[in-house]
């Protein structure tokens, strides 16, 4: 019990240091969550050093920076692989079968580039929310980021069968190819509006909102600011 209390103290010391540390890593990718970071080999070794008696400091953290960055890279690859498998496991819009097995079978390499496409959208798991977002933005969504470890999020995220064909139709309507990257739509987000008269979509919204709206894509316009 005493050791567990010391370990809890070490984690409390580590948490603010970690929150600062993750702001320095590469942007545009998933920043590992605190409880996940505590399980990284480089971090967990630091926390239990000297039977968890040694105070966690910035200096001790930075000494392990390269090892922690390697752990982060492995973490991000694992999360991406799981998300691609989730996305590719959804039945096609016809209701039977599955999407093209680009994600690979057990033991095969997963095509992580799928995650960067504008058509790869994940639904918020809150029953009151219909938000669809790409990776890694889905992890920053208000209902998702309250969870502090990735496994809790992965167990709840959804990728619905109707999303990809709807997204493809909307892309074509807007003059974009099917393999358009999510980042290529940054200029459109917050500028898509609908002429159908629905009050929720008369004001400009983002691509994911229009995909989830289930309104005819022909009524959607790109509104200049």
Q: Is residue 149 part of a domain?
A: no
Judgement on whether residues 168 and 93 belong to the same structural domain of the protein: no
Decide which of 113, 131, 154 is a domain's last residue.
Answer: 113
> According to the model, what pLDDT value does residue 225 have?
44
Q: 220 forms bridges with which residues in the sheet? A: 194
CA 32 to CA 24: how far, in whole Å? Answer: 12
83 and 174, same domain (yes or no) = no
Do 7 and 101 share a structural domain? Answer: yes
Please, are residues 34 and 145 in contact by the beta-carbon 8 Å criterion?
A: no
Tell me the whole-structure pTM to 2 decimals.
0.79
- How confident is the model at residue 193, as a pLDDT? 83
More confident residue, 53 or 110: 53
Is 181 in contact with 198 (CB distance < 8 Å)? no
Residue at 64 is within a domain: yes
Distance CA 61, CA 24 (A): 13
CB neighbours of 141 closer than 8 A, spacing ≥ 6? Answer: 124, 131, 133
Of all residues in the chain, what percent carry a pLDDT higher than 90?
41
| Domain contains 126 | no
Q: Average pLDDT of 19-42?
A: 88
- 167 and 109 together in one domain: no
Which of 64-78, 95-109, 147-161, 203-217 is least confident? 95-109
The token pair at 69 is: 């960055």
User: Is residue 118, in this structure, part of any structural domain at all?
Assistant: no
pLDDT tens per residue, range 33-81: 899 999 999 999 999 999 999 999 999 999 999 999 999 999 999 999 9
Which tokens in the block code for residue 88?
Answer: 């590719």
Q: What is the pLDDT of residue 96?
A: 41
Give me the chain's average pLDDT, please: 85
**CA–CA distances in Å: residue 98 to residues 19, 35, 109, 154:** 39, 33, 18, 19
- Using omega within 30 degrees of 0 as the cis cutoff, is the peptide bond preceding 136 cis? yes
Q: Which domain holds residue 78?
A: 2-113
**Taking a C-beta distance cutoff of 8 angstroms, is the pair 80, 116 a contact?**
no
Least confident piece of the model among 2-11, 117-126, 192-201, 216-225: 216-225
Alpha helices, DSSP H only, in 53-129?
Answer: 58-63, 65-88
Write down the pLDDT at residue 101.
Answer: 43
Chosen domain end from 113, 132, 155: 113
Q: What is the pLDDT of residue 221?
A: 72
Q: Report the number of distinct structural domains present in the chain.
A: 2
For residue 107, the model assigns a pLDDT of: 54
Predicted local confidence at residue 128, as pLDDT: 84
Mean pLDDT of 148-170: 85
Confidence of residue 146 (pLDDT cuts 50, 70, 90): confident
More confident site: 66 or 191: 66
pLDDT reading at 223 higher than 90: no
Higher pLDDT, 125 or 68: 68
- 12 and 100 inside one domain: yes
């Amino acid at each position: 019990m005493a050791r567990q209390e010391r370990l809890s103290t070490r984690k409390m010391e580590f948490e603010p240091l970690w929150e600062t540390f993750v702001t320095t890593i590469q942007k545009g990718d998933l920043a590992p969550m605190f409880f996940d970071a505590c399980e990284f080999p480089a971090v967990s070794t630091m926390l239990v050093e000297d039977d968890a008696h040694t105070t966690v400091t910035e200096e001790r953290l930075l000494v392990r920076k390269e090892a922690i960055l390697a752990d982060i890279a492995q973490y991000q690859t694992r999360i991406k692989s799981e998300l691609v498998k989730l996305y590719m496991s959804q039945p096609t819009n016809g209701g039977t079968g599955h999407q093209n097995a680009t994600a690979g079978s057990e033991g095969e390499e997963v095509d992580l580039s799928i995650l960067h496409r504008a058509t790869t959208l994940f639904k918020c798991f809150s029953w009151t929310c219909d938000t669809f977002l790409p990776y890694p933005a889905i992890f920053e969504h208000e209902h998702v980021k309250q969870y502090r470890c990735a496994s809790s999020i992965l167990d709840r995220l959804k990728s619905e069968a109707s999303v990809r064909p709807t997204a493809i139709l909307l892309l074509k309507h807007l003059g974009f190819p099917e393999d358009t990257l999510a980042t290529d739509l940054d200029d459109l987000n917050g500028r898509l509006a609908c002429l159908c008269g629905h009050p929720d979509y008369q004001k400009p919204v983002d691509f994911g909102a229009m995909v989830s709206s289930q309104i005819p894509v022909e009524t959607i316009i790109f509104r200049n600011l």
